[in-house]
Amino acid sequence: MGFTDGDGGDAYRDFEDIFRGDEDFIRERQRFYLSMLNTDGPVLDAGSGRGEFLDLLSQGSIEAIGVDLDRGMVDRCTAKGHNVVLGDVIDYLRDAPDGYFGTVFRHSSSNTSLLGGWSSSSNCPYANCGPAVSSSLRQ
């Protein structure tokens, strides 16, 4: 679903540092989304990467869980003190209890999606994820 070097190396982190921007810059760009969150349940940061959004959520005392495919990114986030799982976000959502998350946050260099209990999962960028996302969100 996304780029990963898979073995926990620094290749993807180096790529993000060069082509995405430094973490402070990304955090400031993502700060805009904080006011849109449904915090009735934890926020799932889908593809948490370097953890910039998790940093913001932590600063705001908002419960959050990250999921990422890249071991290096997971290690980076856990070193910051974040709760991040290595794995596929759709598999993670399928296994989550119904109605568990307040918001699913997905971001990339080209777009950002906020799916909340007030939103439809029809905009999900991944094939066949609608049922997994919609059942895991609080209504």
Provide the strand spans (E) within the chain. Answer: 43-46, 64-68, 84-86, 103-107, 112-116
Matching residue, tokens 């990304």: 26
Instruction: For residue range 56-71, list pLDDT tens digits in order.
Output: 999 999 999 999 998 9
pLDDT of amino acid 118: 31
Predicted structure pTM score: 0.74
State the DSSP code for 8: S
pLDDT: is 26 or 119 the higher one?
A: 26
Instruction: For residue range 14-56, list pLDDT tens digits in order.
Output: 766 677 778 899 899 899 889 888 878 899 999 999 999 999 9
User: Which amino acid is residue 62, in one-letter code?
Assistant: I
SS3 category, 112: strand
Return the percentage of the chain with pLDDT > 90, whole number. 34
Which domains does the chain carry? 11-136 (3.40.50.150)
CA–CA dist 101, 98 (Å, integer): 8
